[in-house]
Amino acid sequence: RYHISLPERPLEMTNVVTNSLGAFTAGAFLSCGSMTDPNKEYHLEFVLPCPQLEEPFSRILLAIGVNAKMVLRKGMPVVYLKHSEQIEDLLTFMGAQQGTIDFINIEILKNVRNKANRISNCDMANINKVMLAAERQIKDILLIDERMGLDALSPDLQQMALLRMDNPELSLKELGELLDPPIGRSGVNHRLKRLQVLADSLRTQS
């Protein structure tokens, strides 16, 4: 369980009712509440001592803008939160401002890591896509070389074939930048498609 430090006087507010609710909620958390390490998941809960307390306690949380969920666990009512914004609001209301700051910092770090992972996964997928396409293209070029020789190709297709053979890891854009003169991605794709059509024609002749 994740440790949250609560002050002896949860919140200094001029509104007596609001301050009392904050103190009461903080006391309830100290007696029957807990929070999972936010590095793992977002989950804060109160395990109430009897079912009769579930409805009034939920109403108290609702009064401070927190819409909690309820589940029975071993016959005991558990009021819980899983949305990070609501957990932050409740921690602040209970006077655990430092806990709120720590929670937000962890949330930001997790979001940054998740974004980095998504970018990394996307990059890996793109690399795999390039390699699979290059493998097919090289098979076509090898077939053309075997059946008729690359010298029989037009200068632009011969240049494209040799460049792809020497650089299987490069994207179409990168291949185009190596050509003399350089051409765009669509131009490279057009030349490789012409090589593919020629290779398919040779396959049908076998």
Residue 83 belongs to some domain of the structure: yes
Average pLDDT on 145-156 reads 92
Residue 49 has what pLDDT?
A: 86
Tell me: do 75 and 133 sit in the same domain: no
Of the ranges 2-6, 18-22, 65-69, 170-174, which one carries the lowest mean pLDDT score?
2-6
Tell me: do 43 and 74 sit in the same domain: yes
Residue 6 has pLDDT above 80, yes or no: no
pLDDT tens-digit profile of 75-118? 888 989 998 888 888 888 888 888 888 888 888 888 888 888 88
**Tokens 């765009």 — which residue?**
184
Tell me, what DSSP letter sits at residue 15? -
- Two tokens at 174? 């990168």
Tell me: do 39 and 74 sit in the same domain: yes
Residue 11 has what pLDDT?
A: 41
**Tokens 């020497």 — which residue?**
166
Residue 60 sits in which domain range?
A: 16-95
Average pLDDT on 169-179 reads 90
Residue 171 belongs to some domain of the structure: yes
The pTM of this model reads 0.52
Residue 19 has what pLDDT?
A: 62
pLDDT grade for 158, boundaries at 50, 70 and 90:
very high
- Rounded CA gap, 169 and 131, in Å? 6
What is the residue type of 140?
D
Residue 103 belongs to some domain of the structure: no
Question: What is the domain-level CATH number for residue 83?
Answer: 3.10.28.10
Domain count, the chain: 2
Residue 153 has pLDDT above 60, yes or no: yes
Residue 6 belongs to some domain of the structure: no
pLDDT grade for 27, boundaries at 50, 70 and 90:
confident
Average pLDDT on 60-64 reads 83
Say whether 72 sits in a helix, a strand or coil. Answer: strand
- Rounded CA gap, 180 and 175, in Å? 10
Residue 3 belongs to some domain of the structure: no
**In the chain, % of residues over pLDDT 70:** 90
Tell me, what DSSP letter sits at residue 5? -
Alpha-carbon torsion, ordered 83, 54, 32, 16, to 10 deg: 80
Residue 10 belongs to some domain of the structure: no
**In the chain, % of residues over pLDDT 90:** 30
Which of 60, 95, 130 finishes a domain? Answer: 95
Residue 13 has pLDDT above 80, yes or no: no
| Residues forming a β-bridge with 80 | 45, 69
